[in-house]
Homo-oligomer: A and B are copies of this chain.
Amino acid sequence: MTDSIDLNCDLGEGFGRYTMGDDAAMLEIVTSVNVACGFHAGDPDIMAERAAQTLEKGIVLGAHPSFDDLRGFGRRRIRGIPASELRNLIIYQVGALQGLARSVGQKVSHVRAHGALGNMTDEDREMADMLAGAVADLGSDVALMTMAGCAADRAAEALGLKVARQAFADRAYTDDGTLVPRTESGAVLDDAEAAVERVIRLADEGVIESVNGKHLRLDARIVCVHGDTPAAVKMAEHIRTALENRGIAVKPYTQHEGWN
């Protein structure tokens, strides 16, 4: 089905003296990244460094904005924020990363909402419209990265945005194409071989299987991997190697055929 896959991961999720995951290892594996913008993780120094590193390595840089929730790592659903304020929250964070990226000659190519903000904009059309509107206001050179087939995908299409569609290598899917919540057992796949198989099948057939065995047809050539544990890094390496062995090019989505 496709001859090229983008391996994507969240990056820059340390804070001050705190580290999270193995960014150095992931920068050798992935072809696009979503960098935390200081609200759930990340800080100006990490952001500036990741911008410079991605430029040097030819990795596509994206922003990973979230609720203002350092304590909860952006995984808490915060209710009652008007859409106009969420828009400003997102643009603030993306703008901060754009500033640091420009200052080292790099640019921000996409926005991927993090954690609870990501889940809510994936699931709920009103939230999705808010997110798509924010990205639209950032200008035509910024794409919206979403889960393939989710509400944000549709909202982005409705506004004529560039959409970078993502599937998850190591997260279980429900029958309607959303992720099984982290609070449920089996939400995260630990088996590297199973994850590799899933990615190969996605590349070959455009299909991911849900927890109930349903075939989900996904238009996704971006595969999200994780790097927060040594096992996760290993899994990402396996996936990259398996794809290359099969003759599938691992390269940034911006270089995929048909990306505009």
Contact = CB atoms under 8 A, between A and B. Distances in A.
Interface of A: 14-20, 38, 43-45, 47-48, 68-73, 75-81, 84-85, 88-89, 91-100, 102-104, 116, 134, 137-139
12 contacts: A18-B19, A38-B92, A43-B71, A44-B92, A47-B88, A48-B88, A48-B91, A77-B79, A91-B100, A92-B99, A92-B100, A95-B102
Contacts of A79: 76-79
Contacts of A94: 99
Given A16-B73, A98-B98, 7 more contacts: A16-B72, A18-B18, A47-B92, A76-B80, A88-B100, A92-B99, A98-B99
Contacts of A89: 44
A69 B19 CA distance: 17
What are the nearest 8 A-B pairs in CB distance? A95-B99, A44-B88, A18-B18, A44-B92, A103-B137, A77-B79, A96-B96, A76-B80
Contact of A15 (B18, B44, B103): B18
B85 A91 contact: no
Nearest to A71: B16
Contacts of A70: 15-16, 70
> Taking each of A68, A80, A92, A93, which has the highest tally of chain B beta carbons within 10 Å of its own beta carbon?
A92
Contacts of A138: 99, 102-103
A160 B45 CA distance: 26
Contacts of A69: 78
Contacts of A20: 17-18
A20 B15 CA distance: 12
Interface centre among A19, A78, A84 (most CB of B within 10 A): A78
A76 B73 contact: no
Nearest to A63: B99
Contacts of A38: 92
A94 B103 CA distance: 11
A99 B16 CA distance: 24
A73 to B, nearest CB: 5
